[in-house]
Amino acid sequence: MYEQAKDIQTLIESAQKILIIQADNPDGDSIGSALALEQILSDMDKEPLLYCGMDMPTYLRYVIGWDRVSQDFPSAFDLSIIVDASTMALLEKLSAAGYERMLANKACIVLDHHEIVKDTIGFATITINDHTRAATGELIYLLAKQLSWPLSLRTMEYIMIAILGDTQGLSNDLASPQTYRILADMIEAGVDRTAIEQNRREYSKMPPRIYRYKAHLIERTVFSHDNQVASVSISQDEINEFSPLYNPGPLIQGDMLQISGVKVAIVFKNYKDGKVTGAIRSNAGYPIAAKLAERFGGGGHAFASGFKVTDGRSFKDIAADCLQVSDELLNELYKSEN
């Protein structure tokens, strides 16, 4: 299936310590993919190491093994595998700490599925970016099948978490018929999807303080394009205060997509150093997230994407431009359907 598979196998066979890297904005797909690879490599008698430049968000801590992901970059490794990211723009912490040279001096495999990527990783030895896959976890499953890698029950559980993460619990259009067949195969093998969901819900429970904060975010939600685009802005002070308890983005964004008539939900974060980020999610049938992020130097896939702007423009101007572009993309989508 993947023409690079044999070369990937050769690199892994010749390595012992293998560093698995997630982007600075870890999500369900990235942690599921990273832990699945860790399990596969361990079962192949390798020594996998897990790295992420950011602490794992609270909402992902239902995933068994999240605490093995370290913010300490290892001093020695033979090979690196970057999952769910194929641009150094998503590895800012790693670059700022001066570790990019270490990566470039070793063999590096990139496994990703995002449709729109700006500035790919030039030093990567092998890159597979298969945007026909619902998640990087799905890509890893197919690669494992092709190369006869061990797929333990725990590995398949991680892959299911990855797929469910990027498909928003199979609620968007990323999942293909093959995605469902893969999930069915894993369920038949013994993966308990119900237990995964129950565990996720348990860890998603919020303390009263966060519940009250969510009410403030709801009050501040702005609607545009005839109430089809919902957006909210989060300040640096709020990020500092509430992120250790619950990531403000996932706290509100799913509910924004549940509002009648809303097609796109955007969570802006406004930092004191002038940086502005946008997390974009869109409902099924409205695949504009990646195109919207691309207009602001970001990327992602059709239903989940993000961007970061550091060019000195004001938050007010960036947010206004983003809402204007989202209106334009929705209009273009409607015209193409008529």
Model pTM score: 0.87
Instruction: Check if the beta carbon of residue 331 is closer than 8 Å to that of residue 338.
Output: no
Same domain, 50 and 189: yes
Same domain, 245 and 144: no
The label of the residue with tokens 């976890």 reads 137
Last residue in a domain, options 163, 183, 201? 201
Last residue in a domain, options 148, 178, 201? 201
Task: Give 11-61 as a DSSP string.
Answer: HHHT-SEEEEEE-SS--HHHHHHHHHHHHHHHHTT-EEEEEESSPPPGGGT
Same domain, 190 and 322: no
Q: What are phi and psi of 253, to 5 degrees?
A: -65, -40
Last residue in a domain, options 181, 201, 221? 201
pLDDT one-digit tens code per residue, 286-306 = 999 999 999 999 888 889 899
Residue 116 scores a pLDDT above 80: no
Instruction: Check if the beta carbon of residue 174 is closer than 8 Å to that of residue 164.
Output: no
Q: Which domain holds residue 39?
A: 5-201
Same domain, 33 and 135: yes
Residue 118 scores a pLDDT above 80: no
pLDDT one-digit tens code per residue, 227-261 = 999 999 999 999 999 988 888 998 999 999 999 99
Task: Give 269-302 as a DSSP string.
Answer: EE-TTS-EEEEEEE-TT---HHHHHHTTT-EEET
The label of the residue with tokens 């008698």 reads 45
Band of residue 271 on the pLDDT scale cut at 50, 70, 90: very high
CATH number of the domain within which 230 lies: 3.10.310.30
Total domain count, the chain: 2
Note the pLDDT of residue 335: 87
Same domain, 111 and 193: yes
Note the pLDDT of residue 133: 95
Note the pLDDT of residue 203: 84
pLDDT one-digit tens code per residue, 12-68 = 999 999 999 999 989 999 999 999 999 999 999 999 999 999 999 888 999 999 999
CATH number of the domain within which 41 lies: 3.90.1640.10
What does each C-alpha distance from 36 to 30, 142, 150, 269 come to in angstroms?
Answer: 10, 12, 10, 31
Give the single-character DSSP code of 73.
Answer: P
